[in-house]
Chains A and B, each alone.
Chain A
Amino acid sequence: MKSLVAVLTVVAAIVAFWYAACVPMNIKGVLVAAERAGVEVTPATAKERRDMSEIGLSLSNSFAIPDTWAQDRPRLPAPHQVAIELWKTTVEKKITSKRSLIYHGWVTLSATLLGFAIGTGLGILLAVGIVHSKVMDMSVMPWAIVSQTIPIIALAPMIIVVLYSIGVQGIIPKAVISAYLSFFPVVVGMVKGLRSPDGMQLDLLRTYNASQSQGFWKLRLPASLPYLFASLKIGIAASLVGAIVGELPTGAVAGLGARLLAGSYYGQTVQIWSALFAAAILAACLVALLGLLERVMLKRMGMSA
């Protein structure tokens, strides 16, 4: 309860800061509009205003401050503008409309989920191989760790073009990038998890004369689940980033990444911010869903703390 109050305070502080930041960010645009409408502005010409600081301008033209939160194409839209845009493009639009964020979100989400499933599946398989084969462990594992330090996302434009040139397009190229990004966190986490049973537990199974596969299914796999979920949460966030970035270089027409790009081409800042928030909400929902799944599963297995 106490931390809820604290969280809300922090969020409120961020929102207040955001509103305050809108004033200096947008004041110049507002003053230009006001001048055109015939309102008296303190330094009269745009030339004089150019050399003044934004904060000084806001102080000397305090009448214009409310307008900074209601511009059409602000440099920084106010929170309520973004919220209204989000509401309009999700609830009020039909989901089949090209302007509905739910439609765009689904395009991105479907690629994310497909890629996440592929990447996680392959990652778990590789981790099982690494744990059971010393050769694979010694040859592949160092590369898997090194690959975490390189910006894999730089590959995204190339993957899309290469797949396009062999005739694959649509959801698959984005899913490949998503899969690639979620693959390595899962491998590293899962190897750690499959190795987490200590010598005592392994010895116990040996005294039961358990076979290798029994040891895997009854001890290693259950023991790895907490680690698996931790890396799944990282993996799904990475998958979403991958799907969004995968939409950038091809000039895709649908998806949250395409909304970002279109917004930045046409200076539609409110649209960029609402797409950004839609992506953030999507990421938060996915991570929360995995967290819920984790809690339910670990509880049923009697592992919850």
Chain B
Amino acid sequence: MLMVGLAVLVWIVGWWINGRLANSPAAGTRAVQLAVPVIFGVTVLIVWELLVRGLNVPLVILPAPSMIAGRFAESLPILWADFVQTFAKGALSGYIMGCGAAFLMAIAVDRSDFLRRGLLPVGNFVAALPIVGTAPILVMWFGFDWESKAAVVVVMVFFPMLVNTVAGLRETSAMQRDLMQTYAASYWQSFFKLRLPAAMPFIFNGLKISTTLALIGAIVAEFFGSPTVGMGFRISTSVGQLALDMVWAEIVVAALAGSIFYGAVALIEKSVTFWHPSQR
């Protein structure tokens, strides 16, 4: 009971500190904007820990954060091997291949108005479909190892990336294109100097959407069959063994990988599209 009382107290204190910070005159500063979500996160973790201990929640329902951290530290080699298998081999290679193919396809499509009219609605339609469903088929075709995971990722990221790039390449105004024409710029000159830079915000939007999709595809594809290593494999087998602390440790890895991947793409975007209003 003491622990539960303490949890309520911690929650109130954390909320009170955040309330003071958010309504203080310093609320606009960077430090406070960073501190408030961090305090919130830490408060949630402490309350979680105290509630799990205080109420004696069994391990199969919810392990305490300290247990997850302990398991995480203990099984670093396993987690690293899973990470390499799923992220580096499956998700990343598929991401590069899928986004690259979609980019080239978009350039090809962009040259013909007819193709673009036809492909955009189809692409938009396919982008909304549950494409993860192709995972069993691709696992059947490419075997259990990372190739099938990369294939699922390629299929998943292709259409969002294609739609965004095609939309981006249409971004330039007629005036700008006319200007290039008066300079007697060739197709490729005006492509590289005008239309590609103008398309960059859209391209990066597609790239950012695809980061999450790539991880989802690689993990879900492992539910359909995988070698005995990989994040999806570890999650589904650990769930079977009711080793929920291991599952949570894998989820921490997935969350870290997802946010770092996204953050890296966002950083590149910042340096490439520094001119765009949203970056200033």
Contact = CB atoms under 8 A, between A and B. Distances in A.
A269 B248 CA distance: 34
A139 B36 contact: yes
A166 B57 CA distance: 11
A18 to B, nearest CB: 13
B80 interface: no
Nearest to A263: B136
B251 interface: yes
A83 B243 CA distance: 43
A296 interface: no
A138 B259 contact: no
Given A154-B231, A157-B236, A260-B133, A143 B141 contact: no
A114 B213 CA distance: 24
Interface string B23-42: 10001000011001101110
Interface stretch (B110-118, B171-179, B186-194, B269-277): B110-118
A207 B244 CA distance: 56
A134 interface: yes
Contact of B128 (A153, A233, A248, A269): A233
A38 interface: no
Dominant SS at the B interface?
Answer: helix
B23 to A, nearest CB: 6
A165 B57 CA distance: 12
B212 interface: yes
A189 to B, nearest CB: 14
A283 B40 contact: no
Contact of A134 (B27, B118, B219): B27
Nearest to B19: A135
B122 A10 contact: yes
Nearest to B124: A287
Contacts of B37: 138-143
Q: Count chain A CB atoms within 10 A of each CB in B27, B118, B141 and give the residue with the most.
A: B118
B226 to A, nearest CB: 13
Interface residues of A, number: 58
B7 interface: no
A6 B60 CA distance: 55
Given A2-B117, A150-B258, A143 B129 contact: no
A157 B235 contact: yes
Given A75-B140, A138-B33, A150-B255, A7 B117 contact: yes
A149 B258 contact: yes
B31 to A, nearest CB: 12
A269 B40 CA distance: 49
A131 B78 CA distance: 43
B61 A237 contact: no
B228 interface: no
Contacts of B132: 241, 244-245
Interface string A244-271: 1100110000001000110110010100
Contact of A157 (B136, B215, B239): B239
Contacts of B61: 162, 165-166
B223 interface: yes
Contact of B118 (A9, A138, A157): A9
Given A154-B250, A161-B239, A162-B61, A264 B118 contact: no
Nearest to A157: B239
Interface in B175-227: 211-212, 215-216, 219-220, 223-225
A283 B115 contact: no
B136 A261 contact: yes
B239 to A, nearest CB: 5
B117 A3 contact: yes
A256 B136 CA distance: 13
B22 interface: yes
Interface of B: 15, 18-19, 21-23, 27, 32-33, 36-37, 39-41, 60-62, 114-115, 117-119, 121-122, 125, 128-130, 132-134, 136-137, 139-141, 211-212, 215-216, 219-220, 223-225, 231-232, 235-236, 239, 242, 244, 247-248, 250-251, 254-255, 258-259, 261-263
11 contacts: A3-B117, A3-B118, A10-B122, A138-B21, A158-B244, A241-B130, A248-B224, A249-B236, A249-B239, A272-B137, A280-B130
